[in-house]
Amino acid sequence: MGWVLVAILVIFVMVLASCIKIVPQAYAYVVERLGAYQGTWSVGLHVKTPFLDKVAKRVNLKEQVVDFAPQPVITKDNVTMRIDTVVFFQITDPKLYAYGVENPIMAIENLTATTLRNIIGEMELDQTLTSREVINTKMRASLDIATDPWGIKVNRVELKNIIPPAAIQDAMEKQMKAERERREAILRAEGEKKSTVLVAEGKKESAILEAEAEKQSAILRAEAQKEKMIREAEGEAEAILKVQQAKADGIRMIREAGADQSVLTIKSLEAFEKAADGKATKIIIPSEIQGVAGLAASVKEIMG
């Protein structure tokens, strides 16, 4: 009898323990009573009714990411390509999520594929390749509206890869290569142009500097020549002055020494000889001087 009571007590404890539930952070439990929706448990400690209540679904409230496989789509200009998408979503209503759709992830995947085909079908290839942000925005708006009855909010949609056909990829690579070569040629031409301009400017600057240096050199040479001529003229003037001074001193010394008439006559003749400087063949004597004595008298008179 004692063992039966112990077994009943153990079963009671186990049933009571199974009725106590702790909901962790960022989760919610959908509870049913006799197969009907009873309520949603949020974070914390909860106790259910034994044998009547059960946790029908454990819902993750954190933002989730789903990467869908590439989907074939056709553009407006009839180019078939493959695009894979990444969807970021979050469950906002656990009850709608539990009872709104049978398989929410599969539903989102199919909805993403059909929405993507509708958007790409209105765009041409070039526009598709350059309008990712536009496609992402349109898809997010459409999916958010469609998944709202399921208790799901689509936060973001991204096109992960756009895979065009191999022939178009090859043509695009050739076009990109040609564009790079064109840009390289333009940059090389611009570099050569700048180099030519810089060389011409350098030559011009060098010519200007050379002309300025030549001008300065000519000015310095002219000033040196002028200074030389001035000094030569000053030297000649000083030499003449000294010669005249020496002659005057000589005449004064002769006069002071009391030279007679014949000495004065000889000195006068020497003066005429120096005047000729050995270059003249004739010496013209003034008509007033009739003789040596008269010449001497004239010199004496001048000295007096």
pLDDT of the chain, 304 residues: tens digit per residue: 667 777 777 777 777 777 888 889 989 999 998 888 899 989 888 888 888 888 889 999 999 999 988 888 888 888 888 898 999 999 999 999 999 888 898 999 999 999 999 999 888 888 888 888 999 999 999 999 999 999 999 999 999 888 887 777 777 778 778 888 888 889 888 888 888 888 888 888 888 888 888 888 888 888 888 888 888 888 887 878 877 787 777 667 766 665 555 555 555 555 555 545 555 455 555 444 445 445 444 444 544 4
Question: Where does a domain end: 36, 60, 84?
Answer: 60
Q: Give the separation between CA 146 and CA 131, rounded to whole angstroms.
A: 23
The reply to whether 205 and 129 lie within a common domain is no
Q: Are residues 209 and 183 in the same domain?
A: yes
Indicate whether 179 and 156 sit together in one domain.
no
Same structural domain for residues 269 and 186? no
Q: How many structural domains are present in the chain?
A: 4
**pTM of the entire structure?**
0.54
Q: Are residues 79 and 149 in the same domain?
A: yes
| 158 and 175 part of one domain | no
Considering the domain architecture, whether residues 188 and 268 belong to the same structural domain is answered as no
Q: Which of 25, 42, 60 is the last residue of a domain?
A: 60
In angstroms, rounded to a whole number, what is the distance separating the alpha carbons of residues 38 and 56?
A: 10
Q: Domain span at residue 19?
A: 2-60
Kindly state whether residues 88 and 145 are assigned to the same domain. Answer: yes
Residues 74 and 147 occupy one common structural domain: yes
